[in-house]
Copies of this chain bind each other. A is one copy, B any other.
Amino acid sequence: MQLGMIGLGRMGANMVQRLMAAGHDCVVFDTNPETVQALAKEGATGADNIQDLCAKLTPPRSVWIMVPAAVVDKVIADLRPHLQADDTIIDGGNSNYQEDIRHQKALRDIGVHFLDCGTSGGVWGRERGYCLMIGGDTDAVQRLDSIFKDLAPGMGDIERTAGRSGEPTPAEQGYLHCGPSGAGHFVKMVHNGIEYALMASYAEGMNILRHAGIGREDQTIDAETAPLANPEHYQYDINLADVAEVWRRGSVVASWLLDLTAIALHEDNELDTYGGRVSDSGEGRWTCQAAIETGTPAPLLTAALYERFSSRGEADFANKILSAMRYQFGGHHEKSES
Contact flag A225-B156 (CB < 8 Å), given A133-B246, A295-B314: no
Which A residues, 267 to 293, have Cβ-Cβ distances below 8 Å to chain B?
A: 267, 271, 274-282, 284-285, 287-293
Q: Which of A33-41, A65-73, A84-92, A139-147 contacts B (4 or more CB under 8 A)?
A: A65-73
**B238 adjacent to A183 (CB under 8 Å):** yes
Complex CA–CA separation, A123 to B182 (angstroms): 39
> Does A107 count as interface, using CB distance less than 8 angstroms?
no
Complex CA–CA separation, A238 to B236 (angstroms): 39
Q: A59-85, CB under 8 A of B: which get 1 and which 0?
A: 000000000111100000000000000
Q: Which of A23-31, A50-58, A330-338 contacts B (4 or more CB under 8 A)?
A: A330-338
**A129 adjacent to B161 (CB under 8 Å):** no
**When the two chains form the complex, which single residue of B223, B261, B311 contacts A281, counting CB atoms closer than 8 Å?**
B223
Complex CA–CA separation, A192 to B121 (angstroms): 27
> Does A326 count as interface, using CB distance less than 8 angstroms?
yes
Contacts of A173 in B (CB 8 A): 249
CB distance from A113 to the nearest CB of B (A): 19
Contacts of A223 in B (CB 8 A): 9, 68-69, 94, 281
Contacts of A280 in B (CB 8 A): 226
**A263 adjacent to B306 (CB under 8 Å):** no
**B287 adjacent to A289 (CB under 8 Å):** no
Complex CA–CA separation, A317 to B162 (angstroms): 22
**A101 adjacent to B281 (CB under 8 Å):** no
**B295 adjacent to A312 (CB under 8 Å):** yes
Contact flag A257-B320 (CB < 8 Å), given A121-B251, A162-B266, A307-B315: no
**When the two chains form the complex, which single residue of B158, B210, B324 contacts A249, counting CB atoms closer than 8 Å?**
B158
Q: Count of A residues near B, CB < 8 Å?
A: 179
Contact flag A171-B201 (CB < 8 Å), given A208-B190, A236-B180, A257-B255: no
Contacts of A174 in B (CB 8 A): 246, 249-250
Contacts of A133 in B (CB 8 A): 243, 246
**When the two chains form the complex, which single residue of B161, B197, B238 contacts A201, counting CB atoms closer than 8 Å?**
B197
**A68 adjacent to B324 (CB under 8 Å):** no
Q: A171-189, CB under 8 A of B: which get 1 and which 0?
A: 1111110111011001100
**B302 adjacent to A306 (CB under 8 Å):** yes
Q: A207-230, CB under 8 A of B: which get 1 and which 0?
A: 111111010000101111111111
Known A131-B247, A300-B307; 8 more pairs at CB < 8 Å: A122-B331, A182-B236, A193-B208, A257-B329, A278-B323, A299-B302, A299-B307, A312-B337
What are 17 pairs between A and B in contact, CB < 8 Å?
Answer: A68-B221, A70-B219, A98-B233, A152-B250, A161-B245, A161-B248, A174-B250, A176-B242, A180-B236, A191-B205, A193-B208, A204-B300, A207-B317, A226-B280, A226-B281, A255-B256, A256-B329
